Structure 1
Amino acid sequence: MDVIVLGGGLMGTASAYFLARRGARVTLVERNRIGTGATVASFGNIRRTGRHLAQLPLAHRSLRLWGEAEKMLGRDVEFRASGHIRLIFDQGGLADMRAYAEAARPWGLELEELSPREIRSRFPGLGPDAIAASFSPHDGSGNPRLIAPAYAEAACKLGAEIVEGVEVETIRCTGSSFVVTSSKGAFTAECLLNTAGAWGARIAAQFGEEVPLEARGPQMGVTEPLPHRVLPVVGIWTRDKDYGAYLRQVERGNIIFGGAAERVPVDLDPGHAVADPMRLPAQLRAVARLLPAIAQVAVIRTWSGCEGYVRDMLPVMGRSATTPGLFHAFGFSGHGFQLGPGVGDAMAELIMTDQCETPLDDFRIDRFRRAA
């Protein structure tokens, strides 16, 4: 089977790899460079905590693949199962955590509740004012700059064609195939997989499928290197978006942080947000609540990107509701990094076998039409 994959972020490159591994002839088309969209703007969080329950089967599938990534791809993508801790500073956050932990248990996610004493003894320096925390020991982080190129390279070794710097001009369905004309020629295949991220809704609309999606850019930053002491990824349970910060420390010592800053609207042409230095002081105050020592550290770089946010914060994933042979996997609403390998594996299974062991019904593209 021939498949064209539109979009070269983590979703697209992972899909290309798993499709090629199942024997498909794959052409991946990317408008810029591999992994330079939402993937490279990502924080690198590999977490299941706090996900919509319907996403947990996909998240479990993906976590297994993250654990196999280095052996499978032949490259260290810096996946570290160092755990994921979410600090709690008020009773509302504690109630939310306990309710989520109870709801997630039947879905296969076990969260450990930590007392203030346990936080101080196991994770010194984190959240000195925290009244509790949740801990998921098998989650962790990965390097957003390495993962998509690693999947693309591995896909190429299996025979996939990766074409970068392509301006797509038209996409046409002939009935039995799809024809994509572009600045680098025409590509034809039996199936088309839309993994175009924030641009995915534009492609879906060409086939009569409307998705309420907004393009927004997060604000991220990184500090100078410090002694490596913070092992888990650190987040927070809070109802106050002004405190919704998160951080992690890489092995080189730098602390990467994000959250607590409004994601700004992005014009899809050219499709890239710019970090706002005026937002940085408030963001750092929120991050310092999690790790007070960061207040004494120099920030060496900030950045943003472009992510696609769907109205209900769930991705669009599965078959087209209007066009046989068309498939979608986009709109991961700022929390798709952990899901990426599982998305690629699941979409390859669906396209090649017409079924998928992971339930995808909640992500169907026609859910918006049904809700209207």
Structure 2
Amino acid sequence: MDVIVLGGGLMGTASAFFLARRGARVTLIERNRIGTGATVASFGNIRRTGRHLSQLPLAHRSLGLWGEADKMLGRDVEFRATGHIRLIFDAGGLADMRQYAEAARPWGLELEELSPREIRARFPGLGPEAIAASFSPQDGSGNPRLIAPAFAEAARKLGAEIIEDAEVGKITYTGFGFVVSSSKGSFAADCLLNTGGAWGARIAAQFGEEVPLDARGPQMGVTEPLPHRILPVVGIWTRDKAHGAYLRQVERGNIVFGGAAERVPVGLDPGHASADPALLPAQLRAVARLLPAIAQVSLIRTWSGCEGYVQDMLPVMGRSATTPGLFHAFGFCGHGFQLGPGVGDAMAELITTNRCETPLDDFRVDRFNCAA
């Protein structure tokens, strides 16, 4: 079986790897360089807490693969299962956390509730005004700059062809397969997998599948190195988006942070957003609520990217509803990093066996037509 994968972010490179591992002949086509889109702009959070419940089977599948990534890919992609803590500062956040924890338990996610005393004892310096927290010990973080290139290189070693800096032009369905014209030549295959990220809706539209997707850029930042003391990824349960910050400390000591700032609209041509300095003071105040010590630290860099947000905040994933041999995996709404390996494995299973052990019905591409 020949498969063309359009898009060289984490979803595309993971799919290429797992397809090649299942014996498919894979050509991956990326418009820029591998991993330079939404993947490299990612925070690197590997969390299951707070996900839509229907995403949890995919998130569980993916977490197992993150744990195997170093051995599977032959390099350290800095996955660290340091845990994921979400701080709570008010009664509304506490109620939301408890309701979610109860709902998620049948889906296989167990959250530990921490008291203020337990937070101070186990994670000193975090959220001194927090009234509670949730903790998921098996979650953690990974390095967004390493993971997509690692999957691409591992796929290449299995025989996949990885083509970068190739602008895709016309995509033709022949009735028996697909022909993709690009700035680096034409390619034919039995199947086409659309992992185009924020550009994925454009590809789907060429086959009569309209997806309500907006391209937006997050605001991220990183501080100077500090002594390494914060092990878990830190987030918050809150109903106020202005307080929705998150952070993690990398092993080199730098603190990476994001959230609590409006995601700015991004034009798909060229498809890059810039961080807005005017948003930074309020964002840092929200981060300091989680970690007061950050107020004394120098900021090194801020950045943004280009992410695809679907109207219902769920990804598009699975078979095309109009075209045999076409598959989609895009629109992960800024929280696809944890899901990436699981997405690649699930799509490879679906394409090569015509089945998938992980339920994908909630992510079908034609759900918007059904709602109309």
TM-score (norm 2): 1.00
Cα deviation, residue 169, structure 1: 1.0
Q: Note the 1:58-207 alignment, pairs <5 A.
A: 58-207=58-207
Partner of 2:295: 295
1:40 maps to 2:37:
no
Distance (whole Å) between structure 2 residues aligned to residue 215 and residue 7 of structure 1: 15
RMSD of equivalent CA atoms: 0.2
Partner of 2:249: 249
Q: Which runs of 4+ in 1 moved over 4 A?
A: none
Distance (whole Å) between structure 2 residues aligned to residue 207 and residue 116 of structure 1: 53
Distance (whole Å) between structure 1 residues aligned to residue 169 and residue 208 of structure 2: 18
1:3-49 deviation per Cα after TM superposition (whole angstroms, max 9, x unaligned) = 00000000000000000000000000000000000000000000000
1:95-144 deviation per Cα after TM superposition (whole angstroms, max 9, x unaligned) = 00000000000000000000000000000000000000000000000000
Distance (whole Å) between structure 1 residues aligned to residue 144 and residue 106 of structure 2: 30
Q: State the SS of the aligned residue for 2:128.
A: coil
Partner of 1:368: 368
Distance (whole Å) between structure 2 residues aligned to residue 124 and residue 140 of structure 1: 18
1:58-105 deviation per Cα after TM superposition (whole angstroms, max 9, x unaligned) = 000000000000000000000000000000000000000000000000
Partner of 1:232: 232
Distance (whole Å) between structure 2 residues aligned to residue 74 and residue 222 of structure 1: 28
Distance (whole Å) between structure 2 residues aligned to residue 363 and residue 279 of structure 1: 33
Distance (whole Å) between structure 2 residues aligned to residue 98 and residue 212 of structure 1: 32
Partner of 1:8: 8
Cα deviation, residue 193, structure 1: 0.1
Q: Structure 2: which amino acid aligns with 1:314?
A: L
Q: Structure 2: which amino acid aligns with 1:332?
A: F
Gaps of 5+ in 2: none
1:123-166 deviation per Cα after TM superposition (whole angstroms, max 9, x unaligned) = 00000000000000000000000000000000000000000000
Q: Structure 2: which amino acid aligns with 1:288?
A: A
Distance (whole Å) between structure 1 residues aligned to residue 204 and residue 325 of structure 2: 13
Q: Structure 2: which amino acid aligns with 1:152?
A: A
Gaps of 5+ in 1: none
Q: Structure 2: which amino acid aligns with 1:253?
A: G
Q: Report the identity percentage.
A: 88
Q: Note the 1:193-342 alignment, pairs <5 A.
A: 193-342=193-342
Q: State the SS of the aligned residue for 1:87.
A: strand
Cα deviation, residue 194, structure 1: 0.0
Cα deviation, residue 278, structure 1: 1.1
Cα deviation, residue 177, structure 1: 1.0
Aligned positions, number? 372
TM-score (norm 1): 1.00
